Structure 1
C-alpha cells in the first residue's frame, strides 16, 4: 500500500473530469493512484442504471477485466449488485466490502465468482456507493484486489471512503463537461450553417472572443484586437459604428440601434451586424467566466450565395463532423493549408482527416472528392 495523499488523489480526479473523453489516460492514472493507496489492483466506476451498467470506466491495469465485465456481459450476472439491491446494502454514502454480501463458502458456490472473479484472479473488493445527482441512480467506485491478498483493512476502507465521493462527483462532471462541449459544438455548427460569425464584448466594449467565422467575415470591415474595442476599417464608417457600439453596450438604454449594415473598406457588399445583450448569468463557456454582462455581435454576409449545407449528408455516409467539414471545404476547392487556417487547426490535422475521408468514401485523390462534393451540392 503506497503513501496516502488524499488531496493529490482528489485533485487528479477533478483534473481528469475536464478531459474530453472518459477513456483518457488521466482517468486511468487517477483510478490507479487510488488503487495503490488502498492496496488494490485497479479501480472501476460502475453505474447501476440498467441502461448504463455495461458502460463502465476502469483503470488501465484492469482493462481486460473491465472489457469482459462490460462487453462480455458479466455485469448482468454480478451477484454483488443483485444482493445489494435486494438487501438494501447499496445505499448512497456507504462503503461496502465482499463480506457484506457473501461468505467465503457462498463465494465458492456462486457462478459469478467461480467463472468471472476466479478467471481474472481477483480477490476481495471494496466499493464506495454514491448517487447520480441527475437521475438518482446509484454508482459505485470499486477497487478489486489481487487474489493473493486478504480482506481490506480498516485504514484502507477509510481511505476509499474519503476519496470515493469525489470520484463519483468527478465522473459525473466528466459527463456534464462532455454535454456542454457538444452543445457548444452544436452552436458553432448552427452559426456556420447560417454563415454567421460571433464576437463577444465585455460591458466596456472590449473584445473577449472572436469566432473563426467572425474573423473571416470582419476582414475589410472591422479592426479586431483581443482586449480592445472593435473599430470600423473604413474611416468614413468610424463615427457611425462607434455610435452603434455606444447604443448597444449595457450601460446604455437597450436598445437604441441594435443592427446596422457596415460598408467595407475598398468597396464591396455590406456586412450585417446585429447586437444581442449578454446577461451576467448567461452560460457562454467559450467566452470565459465572469463577464458580468456584455454584448454579442452577430456578423452575417446576407448577400453571400446560398450554399446548402452538405455536412449532414457526409456524416450519414460515415464521416465524423470534423471530417465532413474538411471534405466539404477541400471538395469545393480549398487547399489543406487554407482549411487549417479557416478551422483554426493544424495542417497536419486536416491532412489526417482528409486521409480518413478518402478511406471512408473510397476516394483516391482530391479531384475525385471535388466531383463527389459537386454532385452533393447540386442535389
Structure 2
C-alpha cells in the first residue's frame, strides 16, 4: 500500500484517535468529506437488524432522516455496493449506469429533494460479522465524484477499517453491557433503536420470547396487541423528545406461562446516546408477582402516577368504591372520579376488576373490554 500524501498524515492520526475515542468521529468524517469534496460523510455499523451511525455535522440531519425513515432496508444503492464487493471506494456510476442512477426511486424521492445526488462509498465486512460502511454525499450540482478522489480515499481505507471496527465494537459492547448489568439485578431488558429494533437484549428478556416479547423483522414487539400499540407510540414520543403524553409504563396482562408485567420505556438523551447514534431507548420489564397489593409508592413508580393517583389506585385495588375513597380522603366524589379516570388512562385498564388483577398479578377478567386507544394516532 502506498503512503498517503503528506497532508493526509494528520488525518490518519485523527482516524486512529477516533477509533479509541469514538466521540471524535464527526470531526474526522468532516475532514474526510473535505478531502473527498463532498458535503458530508456518514459511518454506519450493522449487526443483524441493529445499526449504529454517526455523521459529519453537515450530513447529520439528512442521515437522521434516512435511517429513521427506514430507507436502508430498501436502498438499492447499498445493495449494489455490497454486491460489487470491491475492496475500495466506489461511486454511483461504478454500480449503476447513469440512466439507472438518475431514475433510482430513492435518489429521486430522498436525495434530490435535499440537494444531493452523487456519492462515494465503501463497504467493509469484518470477521465478527459486522458490516461497516463509509458513505460520502455530494451536492447535485457538483456532479459525480472523480476517479482521483476515489484513489486518494483508497489509500485511507485500511486505516478507516481498523479504526471503525474498534469503535463499532465499543458501541455494540456498550449496549450489551448495559442490558447484562441489568440482568445482574434481575431485570429483563433491551436497548432499542429509534424504530424499535433490538440493538441488544439480555437472556432474561430472551426467556420471555415469544410469550411476552416477540422479535419481528423490523422491531421488537409485545405479544399483547394493546400493549404493543402503546409501546410503538411510546417509542415515537421518546425519539421525538416528548416528555408528556403517551404512557411509558405499559401494563401487560398475565398469560398462561407468565405473570402480569409492566414494560417501562426509558428514553436515551444527549450524552447518554451511544458512540454511534442509534440507541433511542431502554426497555425494562417488571414482573408483577405480588399476591398482596403493592405499596402506593411502588404503584406510583410502576405507572408514572402522581402520589394522589397512586393512593387512589391502591384503594381501588383493595376493593374500595369511589364513595368510600372520597370519605376516607376528604375529597369530593367528582375529584375522585377524575383521579380514577387518570389512573385508568395511565395503566391502560378500563374496569376496577382489571386493575385489581393487574396489581395482584392475576389474569384480567376475560369479558373486560379494552377501550380503543386514546393516544394520538400513529404517524
TM-score past 0.5 threshold = no
In our comparison, the structure showing a higher alpha carbon Rg is 1
TM-score normalised by L of structure 2: 0.44
TM-score normalised by L of structure 1: 0.44
